[in-house]
Amino acid sequence: MTRKRKDYFTAFLFILPSLIGIAIFYIVPYIICFIKSLYIGQNFVGLTNYIQLFSNNTFLLALKNTAVFTVIAIPLLMVISFLLALFLNSFEKISSFFSSSFLIPVVVPIASLICVWQVVFDDYGAVNGLLNTLEFYTVEFFSSEFSMVMIIFIYVWKYCGFCVILFTAGLANVPKSLYESARLDGANSFQLVTKVTIPMITPTVFFVFLMEIIYSFKIFREVFALFGDYPNENVYFLQNFINNNYYNLNYPRLSSASIILSLFIIIVLLVFFIFERKHSVSE
């Protein structure tokens, strides 16, 4: 065995423990889940479960809500955190305490946050108190279409600081000379952002987008803690559907919904990686 091969073998052995873990806890269950999605009881039914799923109104409602949340919340979070990062980047120096305070929403336990949000968004809570003072009607955040607004707000609030830190790190790597050259060429502030900053931090934007996609699927924890197993139909997400079908022991429906959800994420990320790779090559 050559030295290179020996090194490969040793490296492989080191990877093996985590590979076993990933195989047992992710790959094998995923394959089992896919196989189960093709069966009802002991009978092979092909794609029937998937077809039935798409004729199930509750699944379609969950799919619609998840899509609406993803389409609105992710761009909103990206824009807000990018603008905040730009604002922070305009300062010469930011104290480390101030920077790390952006991470507080991510590290505070969900249970504590939920208590706060319940007080803030209750019919007699702070937000409605403010609205009533301004002579607006009370908004029922927990039982109306505004539930989605509340969830998007919570999502943006929670992950904004984290994304700001990622963007700030990306912005710090943009050479100052590029801005100076652009200014000499007569570029205004808007052009500096669109023509210099954004192209230069594209890898960071991709990474932030990736993280946000992952976090958007984690928002179920907040939805579950605020609304329980059966939220109102405005915030009934795919994760609710999957979670409830677990307790209903509807394995065929649960597994086919999970496969669809995972395929959705895989496709989005794949497209994204292809984009990023192409962009990196052209750069």
Partner 1 sequence: MNKRIISVMLCMLILTGFTACGNSATEDSGSKITFYTIKNWYSITEGSSIWDYNKHCTDSDKIIEIVEFETAEELKNKLSTELMSGGGPDLISADCLSAAGISYEKLIEQGCFADINEIIEADTSQDKINLSDYNENALQSGVINGNRYYIPFYFMPNFYVASQQDLEKHISADTKSLSYNDLIKINDKINEEKSDKVITLNADGYLWSYVYDNVDFLNKTYSFDVEFSKTAEKLKELKSSGNEIKEEIFNEFVISPYQIYEYCAEIEKKEETARVIGKPSINTEVLSAQACDIYFINKNSKKKQEIMEFIKFALSEKEQNNVTGAEIEKYDNTTSYYNGSYFPINKKSYKTLMNNAKEIKYLDDTAKISNKSSEQLENMLSQISDYQFPQSTNYMTEVGSELINDYVNGKISTQKFTDSLKSKTKIYMEE
Would you count residue 117 as binding partner 1 (CB under 8 A)? no
Question: Pattern of binders to partner 1 over 129-168, x per CB under 8 A?
Answer: -----------x--x-------------------------
Q: Select from 100, 173, 181, 248 the one that contacts partner 1 (CB under 8 A).
A: 248
- Characterize the bridge pairing of strands 43-44 and 39-40: antiparallel
* Residue 53 C-beta: closest distance to partner 1, Å: 11
Amino acid at 47: L
Q: Cβ of residue 213: shortest distance to partner 1, in angstroms?
A: 24
CB 70 within 8 A of CB 185: no
Residue 247 binds partner 1, judged by CB under 8 A: yes
Among 49, 59, 81, 165, binds partner 1 (CB under 8 A): 59
Phi, psi values for residue 160, rounded to 5°: -60, -50
Rounded to a whole number of angstroms, the distance between the first and last alpha carbons of the chain is 40
Which among 14-22, 72-80, 98-106, 176-184 is the span making contact with partner 1, rule CB under 8 A? Answer: 14-22
Give me 158's structure tokens. Answer: 């929670």
Residue 190, CB-side half-sphere exposure with 13 Å CA sphere: 0
Q: Which of 96, 184, 228, 283 binds partner 1 (CB under 8 A)?
A: 228
| Per-residue CA distances from 8 to 1, 15, 20, 21, 23 (Å) | 11, 10, 17, 20, 20
Q: Which of 2, 43, 57, 177 binds partner 1 (CB under 8 A)?
A: 57
| Residues 171/64, Cβ–Cβ less than 8 Å | no
- Quick one: 65 or 70, whose CB is closer to partner 1? 65
Rg (CA), the chain: 23
The contact set with partner 1 (CB under 8 A) reads 9-10, 13-14, 16-17, 20-21, 24, 41, 56-59, 61, 123, 140, 143, 228-230, 232-233, 236, 241, 244-251
